[in-house]
């Protein structure tokens, strides 16, 4: 249905308006297309990502200083209490903020465990862009 709306904007409305409005309608149709892509995966990608980050935080808690470790451990033991996208997104933001702090801390550590965790953090960051990837993306 949203796809039909996007097509109506670009095929039916756009030809009859001035250049700027044509461009704005094209952008709006593009946004609708991105919403269609995102709507289907919105819950799945957040649930998957939150679980992946919790796993990294749990491992990191064993490597970093006490205060950060306690924060990571608490977040790692959390769960997605609601499958509303807004609730999952709020949890995701908290987890990704902690991942930034863990990543920075691990970069400063020596040892195989730190390097292995750092590599896995990069793997998760790679995966995070795949989960969010849009078909119209330029990269």
Residues that bind other proteins (CB under 8 A): 18-20, 22-24, 27-28, 30-31, 34, 89, 92-93, 96-97, 99-100, 103-104, 107, 122, 125-126, 128-129, 132-134, 136-139
The nearest distance, CB 26 to other proteins, in angstroms, is 9
Give 24 or 58: the residue with its C-beta nearer to other proteins. Answer: 24
The nearest distance, CB 138 to other proteins, in angstroms, is 5
Instruction: Let me know: does 88 contact 61? Beta carbons within 8 Å.
Output: no
Tokens of 5: 């709306």
Give 63 or 94: the residue with its C-beta nearer to other proteins. Answer: 94
DSSP per-residue codes, 32-90: HHHHHHHHHHHHHHHHHHHHHHHHHHHHHHTTS-HHHHHHHHHHHT-------HHHHHH
């Amino acid at each position: 249905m949203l796809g039909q709306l996007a097509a109506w904007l670009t095929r039916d409305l756009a030809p009859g308006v001035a250049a700027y409005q044509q461009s704005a309608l094209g952008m709006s149709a593009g946004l609708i297309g991105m919403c269609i892509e995102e709507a289907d995966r919105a819950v799945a990608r957040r649930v998957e990502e939150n679980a992946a980050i919790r796993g990294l935080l749990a491992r990191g808690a064993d490597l970093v200083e006490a205060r950060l470790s306690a924060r990571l451990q608490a977040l790692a033991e959390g769960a997605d209490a609601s499958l509303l996208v807004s609730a999952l997104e709020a949890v995701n933001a908290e987890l990704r903020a902690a991942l930034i702090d863990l990543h920075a801390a691990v970069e400063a550590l020596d040892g195989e465990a730190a390097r292995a965790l750092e590599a896995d953090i990069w793997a998760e960051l790679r995966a995070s862009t795949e989960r969010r990837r849009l078909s119209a993306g330029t990269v």
